[in-house]
Structure 1
Amino acid sequence: AFWSGKLSESCSARRGFSFSGRAANMGGLFSYFRGLLGNREMRILILGLDGAGKTTILYRLQVGEVVTTIPTIGFNVEQVTYKNLKFQVWDLGGQTSIRPYWRCYYSNTDAIIYVVDSADKDRIGISKDELLYMLREDELASAILVVLANKQDMEGCMSVTEVHQALGLEALKNRTFQIFKTSATKGEGLDQAMDWLANALQSRK
């Protein structure tokens, strides 16, 4: 199923969201995690600044193709249920006014996919600050981190090494993480990232 909604005024008011729904294809995500999770629902957050490509990545993974998206003012949720497998991905908006509400969704998160616009050199410092601030949260202490250096097809973009350095990833301690270069519009690099994440989750069973 598919849901979208607006962010509430406080974390405690989350149950006040209104949802709309439609049937959705299980798509590529299920193929990565089939047989992996048993009867446990795995929770993944897709985070990053606005315009980084989060929603494009979500639906590229979900349906295997690029779909037309608009800026996410709130969140999108894709959930797949098949036999004993439940897998849920939350795509949260990245605008300045929305980022303070990310923490409302940290509880019980198994992995974070953090998307960076490799062509947005002016805001890479903000992206770093948001990432490091988020990773200080106790609720995310054990969450696996996947960083996607997205928009690698854009002329003049930072390399994956430059993004790694700009985000200060070398300073991360006691965190299972990896960074991948991706192009969401072309679908490049996403398979490798999801394969790595699947293996990382598998190792925790």
Structure 2
Amino acid sequence: MDVTMIGLQNAGKTSLLRVLSGGEFTIDSIPTVGFNMKRVQRGHVTLKCWDLGGQPRFRPMWERYCRGVNAIVFIVDIADQDLLPMAKEELHSLMSQPSLEGIPLLVLGNKSDLHIKLSVDELIDALDLKSIGHREVSCYGISAKEETNLDAVIQWLMKWANR
């Protein structure tokens, strides 16, 4: 199963992928230049996860790496509200691409362990997720650091593995 993980820089994509693939959370992740790929094994399902850089110069590549995947995972730092308008703009721009129509979208509000953060409902509103059509859209709050709600993420992804 192919999964592409995208989101603005410093949202926690690489940290999440490291934890999902059985590694340790580290506070000092360096920004991803280009992309990483890791395999995450759960039972009989192997998730091949692409982790794309979130800096502005890498965002034009996102659409190419999202074509034909089983699911797109968009990760947002829910403690950095200043970046939400940019995250919304990038997400909606990407989801409007005809080549990505029908691909399920999972939005993850990362850093739920921090004190000042958005709730899942606030994130849904801030990103205007209800207006994204032509696909299944789900949204969870997670913490890669505390490993909060990661089982739900894996369950959601595995639901799409056989389609």
**Residues 121-180 of structure 1 deviation map (CA, whole Å, 9 limit, x = unaligned):** 001010001111111112211211111011111121111111110000111223112100
Alignment of 1:114-129 (within 5 A): 114-129=74-89
Poorly superposed stretches of 4+, deviation over 3 Å:
84-87
Task: Return 5+ residue gaps in structure 1 as ranges.
Answer: 1-41
Q: Give the one of 99, 102, 114 matched to 1:142.
A: 102
Q: Distance in 1 between matches of 2:120 and 2:40?
A: 31
Task: Return 5+ residue gaps in structure 2 as ranges.
Answer: none
Counterpart AA for 2:67: S
Q: Distance in 2 between matches of 1:58 and 1:145?
A: 17
* 1:168 pairs with 2:143: no
Q: Give the one of 59, 62, 75 matched to 2:18.
A: 59
Question: What's the CA shift for 1:86?
Answer: 5.2
What is the identity percentage for the equivalent residue pairs of Structure 1 and Structure 2?
37
| Partner-residue secondary structure (3-state), 2:4 | strand
Superposed CA RMSD: 2.0
Alignment of 1:178-193 (within 5 A): 178-193=138-153
Name which one, 1 or 2, has greater alpha-carbon Rg. 1
- Report which stretch shifted further, 61-70 or 139-148: 61-70
**Residues 9-68 of structure 1 deviation map (CA, whole Å, 9 limit, x = unaligned):** xxxxxxxxxxxxxxxxxxxxxxxxxxxxxxxxx211000000000000001100153145
| Partner-residue secondary structure (3-state), 1:179 | strand
